[in-house]
Structure 1
Amino acid sequence: MSATSILVAKWPVLTRHQHAVAWLQAWEDLGRAPRTLDAYARGLAEYLSLCEREAVDPLAAGRTHVAVFVRELTSRPHQRGANVVSIESGAGLANPTIQQRLVPVRLFYDFLMEEGLRDSNPVGRGRYTPGRRGSGRQRGLVPRFSKLPWIPDERQWLDLLDVARREPVRNRVMLALAYDAALRREELCSLRTDDLDPAHRTVRVRAETTKNRLERVVPYSAPTGVLLTEYLAHRARISRARGPLFLSESRRNHGQPLSLWTWSKVVRRLALAAGVERFSTHTTRHLCLTDLARMGWELHAIATFAGHRHTDTTLQYIHLSGRDLAEKLKSGMDHIHSWRVQMLADADMPQAVMGGARDDDRFPV
């Protein structure tokens, strides 16, 4: 059964719009990841449902109808309580979620234009326009909010480790690898036994499991290597077959590959037990990249380690606190100040170095 058939069964509204099914099938044929297809189907299904409620033909919809969709997204009760759109609102989806919902609608109208069914796309996209005043960037339909990613402080991290220390070896090594190698959730859960190179303490992250289809090889630490050796011995008692590295040990799915959702539930349980509710499966990635920046790694090296195509993406992940920045500023200013004082203290320094000014001009009495 194809992914498109499964998604159409999940959101029946898609079946009432033949172009929507054709569009989704085209993305599946192009090899989009199942999770991407799921996000596309969900966003478009919500938009088409709105069109049906408003008695609007999607082929004839304009920007005003898309604006109604945006208004609904920004006023929808948030499943986790007050959040995001404005401090006072107490409602609405998070800004990145709204952007995610609009992407498939925009791509759907791009498809309709390519098929000759429309002349324009009612969903605007922010883009650089040479010659425009100011920043030269046209504003998208919904402004993007750039928020610093959250990472735990030292106390919160220690509290989490204290809880994790009592976990089975599989969960401990997964948490260690997620931090050591800055792995995304899907990259971690998709690791296979032949992706490991214990002799060099490296792990291969296959292109098909990554977000941007970039394969990379990343190292892990010696303590993680010890945990991994212990887990491999434990795994052999579950299955000796090569294949997925992390296996389920539940009664229902014993020996099956560990799912993304199971790992999310494990991390959520640890976070609640440690009293660090904001900790998620992606937090270890943020924390690792930030720690690399604190250690003085070059931006391009961090981008390569993270598997980013562009350093702009890396900058979004690196979270340097105000204290980190203050220490960097102090270190740099101390060097500059000492250089300037040395210039003033050196009586033999030529006036050309001082800009050619006389002492009485530079320091009037």
Structure 2
Amino acid sequence: MTLQARFPTLFEQPYSGEWLAEQDEHFTPNTVSAYGHALVDYFRFCAMQGINPPDANRADVLAYVRDLKTRSKSVAHASPAKRPQYARNTAHEGFANATIRLRIATVRLYYDYLTDEGIRVKNPVKKGQYTKFRTFGGGKRGLVARYEKPPWLPNETQWQALLNAASSEPIRNRFMLALAYDGGLRRGELCALEGGDMDPSGPLVRLRAATTKTQRAREVPYSQTTADLYKAYLKHRRRLNPTSDLLFLSESRRNKAQPLTFWTWSKVVQALGKRAGLPLLTTHTLRHLRLTDLARAGWTLPQIAAFAGHSSEDTTKLYIHFSAQELSERFRQTLGSLLDWRQETLKASLV
């Protein structure tokens, strides 16, 4: 489906369709889709407020931020076309911080385009800036503050509960779960795999640049357990559609042998979490857990960043999570060296 067919609202407005088409040349389909949905939401807000998007000022953008923070997802506050979706997702007032930041970043990029094209003189969206070597007061905050909430990770008991729940799943789901953890794969990367991306001789998974978030190809290993599951899955896979290049296919009656979407995979994992008593489990939990396990095993930050396909080690740091108990145990284990000596000098001098 073309961008114009997916986002007709944007192509009815001047400049926005051209902007989205330009993004399509530089970013992955998932990123472009996120940008498209974000800008459609902003245009919907502008229409309700009688604002012409290309002429919006800073006060208009601030009003949109307030709307995102307080908007009710009830039917009464949704546009007629979106009422069924809003009704199904009614859970709380306002959107998550990450969602708000994504939408405002999209709006900023849209106005950057208008400024570059000479349509506007100034971008109404304030961009946060960081000044090196200055911590307090050394930067300028953007319209939306960034809040990083530590993700939930399963402990050993919860991990076993997940595996127990997964043991009765079809071979496809068991293989996908193991491969997603082993490779620390994003859901989009996992569902876009083709048969030729698997290298049993490694064993390695080759992730093509076009399927990754950073558009950088990489190879990641997988375990013997996953290799055994892969071998069993191949026998099943050949019966579904032996001519398709994609590794994972839908097995539902409605979409038999069609490409498996990451939305479907998300639902599979969500259902697994529910059965295992782990309501916080998501597809991304497996990626966070894998990278944290690599750090626990002594991998260096550059090694983990390369494994994860991160363009910055700062991003990798957000994925590594040690519990207070783990940090205490690590502290006790290292007391036999320099820390031990330092503690002795502290005790001798200060106690």
User: Is the structural similarity TM-score above 0.5?
Assistant: yes
**Which of these residues, 32, 36, 51, is aligned with residue 27 of structure 2?**
32
**After superposition, what is the alpha-carbon deviation per residue over 1:177-211, rounded to whole angstroms, capped at 9, x for unaligned?**
00001010011111111111112211111111100
**After superposition, what is the alpha-carbon deviation per residue over 1:97-146, rounded to whole angstroms, capped at 9, x for unaligned?**
00011111101110110111111111111112469783521111111001
The SS at the match of 1:218 is: strand
Specify whether residues 241 and 124 from structure 1 end up closer, same or farther in structure 2 by C-alpha distance, changes over 3 A only.
same
The SS at the match of 1:237 is: helix
Aligned to 1:8: 7
Does the CA contact (< 8 Å) of 1:113 and 1:119 recur in 2? Answer: yes
Structure 1 residue 159: Cα displacement? 1.1
Structure 1 residue 335: Cα displacement? 2.5
- d(CA) in 1 for partners of 2:272 and 2:329? 32
Structure 1 residue 15: Cα displacement? 4.3
Does the CA contact (< 8 Å) of 1:187 and 1:210 recur in 2? Answer: yes
Listed as ranges, the gaps of 5+ residues in structure 2 are 74-88
**After superposition, what is the alpha-carbon deviation per residue over 1:290-321, rounded to whole angstroms, capped at 9, x for unaligned?**
11111111111111111111110100011111
Instruction: Please identify the structure whose Cα radius of gyration is greater.
Output: 1
Specify whether residues 7 and 334 from structure 1 end up closer, same or farther in structure 2 by C-alpha distance, changes over 3 A only.
same
The reply to whether residue 243 of structure 1 matches residue 239 of structure 2 is no
The SS at the match of 1:203 is: strand
- d(CA) in 2 for partners of 1:74 and 1:268? 26
Aligned to 2:67: 72
**Which of these residues, 46, 55, 66, is aligned with residue 51 of structure 1?**
46
Does the CA contact (< 8 Å) of 1:194 and 1:242 recur in 2? Answer: no
- d(CA) in 2 for partners of 1:189 and 1:76? 33
- d(CA) in 2 for partners of 1:117 and 1:237? 56
Any runs of at least 4 consecutive aligned residues in structure 1 with deviations exceeding 4 A, and if so which? Answer: 130-133, 340-344
- d(CA) in 2 for partners of 1:80 and 1:279? 20
The SS at the match of 2:169 is: coil
Aligned to 1:18: 14
Larger mean Cα displacement after TM superposition, 181-190 or 253-262: 253-262
Structure 1 residue 253: Cα displacement? 2.2
Structure 1 residue 363: Cα displacement? 6.9
- d(CA) in 1 for partners of 2:310 and 2:169? 32
User: How do 1:260-339 residues align onto structure 2 when only pairs under 5 Å count?
Assistant: 260-336=262-338, 338-339=340-341
Aligned to 2:86: none
Structure 1 residue 283: Cα displacement? 0.8
Amino acid across the alignment from 1:271:
G
Does the CA contact (< 8 Å) of 1:191 and 1:244 recur in 2? Answer: yes
Structure 1 residue 242: Cα displacement? 5.5
Counting aligned pairs with the same residue, the percent is 46
Does the CA contact (< 8 Å) of 2:7 and 2:40 recur in 1? Answer: no
Amino acid across the alignment from 2:100:
I
- d(CA) in 1 for partners of 2:349 and 2:31? 66
- d(CA) in 1 for partners of 2:339 and 2:254? 67
- d(CA) in 1 for partners of 2:54 and 2:334? 58
Listed as ranges, the gaps of 5+ residues in structure 1 are 83-90, 345-361
Does the CA contact (< 8 Å) of 1:290 and 1:319 recur in 2? Answer: yes
Structure 1 residue 2: Cα displacement? 2.2
